[in-house]
Chain A
């Protein structure tokens, strides 16, 4: 067993992907930045100087303090505070955590839905394929943000009281549903290529069930491009989440995501308290940029024609 693990480790270190990673400074920097984002987000309760969600720690007399290097700043609030006296740095840590959670969950949801439907459409073909792809076409003609707003609106109407507690899942659902088409189209295309390959025909000869063929033969061979899309989609999903939260239909202000923070800060932009918006905004840009750079590298590394 240990031997197998060592083999696998050596294989992956030796693989073309790892080699390409070791020779791409962009990818390495992006990976480090992204890892730092994920690290601080995951470890927020331990690394953040304050707990912004703990009402007992809040003190309104600390509200709207500027960053520590500006006159009137307080070293215990390095990036200043917002109108309720919450430490901006800590809220960014906690906000990034929520943004990442929403982004990753939405992408997993999109990916699951899109990959399954794409596999089905590509492998079965015929009317199933036509139906799935027409639904995809129709959905593509709506802007993603509109679909998300629609779902959110419906959810608010159906569960009026419970909305705040369900906000997270409503966000995941609305962002996730609006993104599946891209996965489905990509997977469908590659599936139609793979299903005519002889290894799939051989599996059919052994009487393997079509669902098993899709899952065990076709799926592993169409996942490459899906990984690329998913990586870049995390960035898009985080931005969509921020937009929705900025529009006020995202997570509640008591547990703010980066988007919510930007919205809150927006009210103070013109009264001179720019730091409330700027720092969460910067955090968002850095995180999204790192993810996009990683995605770009992954696309190039997985594309045999560019190698």
Chain B
């Protein structure tokens, strides 16, 4: 059970995902009504001559959640749902369009503008998806891992830095001698270990992991997931773990948020989310996973595809694919609200108790 596990019950869901009133001492990261809009308009000249309007892409829309110290929040969704944008908003690679994000009570807005205090920058780090693009091909591994140490002046002096790099490399299961090699001399899994060593170099408390194993083969994925779990236990790390793979999220996360077209549609502890998913989209996702247990259970693949995020449907964006949609769903955007039994769900049908609660899997 997770360190933040609590007894099941109706009262607790509202407590930890709500507004500022529920600010507990153990909340490390708070995302409050965060929004990110990208301007994808054609260039000014084409717009003026062609009479085309400005086009805005709402990549992330009114997203709120808390992450408590020491836990892992999983964020799942299909491509284009905005989960990677959330990751980049938190670490300051993108600037927020609306809302706010606080890390240990401090706004992270300064990260994006480049004048954040070093202490804040040091504590938040990120692991990227592509192990081939996340390491500079012209740098030796030791220099790659040493970069944050030098940037933050955590250790001074060539010898001391080298010792620290060697320790980090061996921590993630590489040899000190590997430091002299270049990234292309390593396999994908080993590169991801180098990435992790680099992220750990600044001694962070919080790691944003953006699909860290999606580019890896399953057996290598297992190695990396095991390593990340061990590091979390050892160093008391807090993770935001982003993935499109529900099984991976089920393995690593304590709580899970499900995103669809820029919004969180369901947020709950792992167990209830996977056992009794409430939102029709979560159910659909769970239903779509190929059944490795070969129970022979007939699956009904949900029809339709994710709509174009530039022209999202009105009301609940999932309504065109939802078997439970009614007129209200087609006009009114559902808010993320505490659902009966567990978690938070943004769905009119759940709120109105039009959908029976069905156990998904034993």
Contact = CB atoms under 8 A, between A and B. Distances in A.
Direct contact of A and B (CB under 8 A): yes
Contacts of B93: 201, 204-205
Contact of B91 (A205, A208, A210, A220): A205
Given A207-B116, A208-B147, A221-B137, A202 B128 contact: yes
Contacts of A220: 136, 138
A285 to B, nearest CB: 37
Given A201-B93, A201-B128, A220-B138, A206 B133 contact: no
A3 to B, nearest CB: 10
A207 B133 contact: no
Given A205-B91, A207-B116, A198 B134 contact: yes
Interface in A185-229: 197-199, 201-208, 210, 217, 220-221
Contacts of A198: 128-130, 133-134
A146 to B, nearest CB: 29
B81 interface: no
B121 A207 contact: yes
Contacts of A207: 114, 116, 118, 121, 151-152
B282 interface: no
Contacts of A203: 136, 147
Contacts of B138: 220-221
Contacts of B243: none
Contacts of B248: none
Contacts of A204: 93
Interface in B72-114: 88, 91-93, 114
Interface string B121-140: 10011101110011111100
Contact of B152 (A199, A206, A217): A206
A202 B118 contact: no
A217 B136 contact: yes
A5 to B, nearest CB: 13
B198 interface: yes
A208 B150 CA distance: 10
A206 B136 contact: no
Contact of A221 (B114, B136, B152): B136
Interface residues of B, number: 28
A206 B180 CA distance: 22
B202 interface: yes
Given A220-B138, A221-B136, A221-B138, A206 B128 contact: no
Interface in B134-161: 134-138, 147-148, 151-152
Nearest to B43: A130
Contact of B148 (A7, A201, A206, A221): A206
A272 B114 CA distance: 72
Contacts of B152: 206-207
Nearest to A201: B93
A171 B198 CA distance: 48
Interface string B272-285: 00000000000000
A200 B93 CA distance: 11
Contacts of B151: 206-208
A199 B130 CA distance: 10
Given A199-B136, A220-B138, A221-B136, A205 B126 contact: yes
A194 to B, nearest CB: 9
Given A220-B138, A221-B138, A205 B133 contact: no
Nearest to B137: A221
B127 to A, nearest CB: 9
Nearest to A7: B180
Interface string B184-228: 000000000001001000100000000000000000000000000
A197 B148 contact: no
A125 to B, nearest CB: 13
Given A221-B137, A221-B138, A206 B147 contact: yes
A278 B126 CA distance: 65
A202 B198 contact: yes
A206 B134 contact: no
Contacts of B88: 201
Given A199-B136, A201-B126, 15 more contacts: A197-B133, A198-B133, A199-B135, A202-B195, A202-B198, A203-B147, A205-B91, A205-B92, A205-B93, A205-B125, A206-B148, A207-B114, A207-B118, A217-B136, A220-B136
Interface of B: 88, 91-93, 114, 116, 118, 121, 124-126, 128-130, 133-138, 147-148, 151-152, 180, 195, 198, 202
Closest 8 CB pairs of A and B: A198-B134, A198-B128, A220-B138, A206-B151, A206-B148, A199-B136, A197-B133, A198-B133
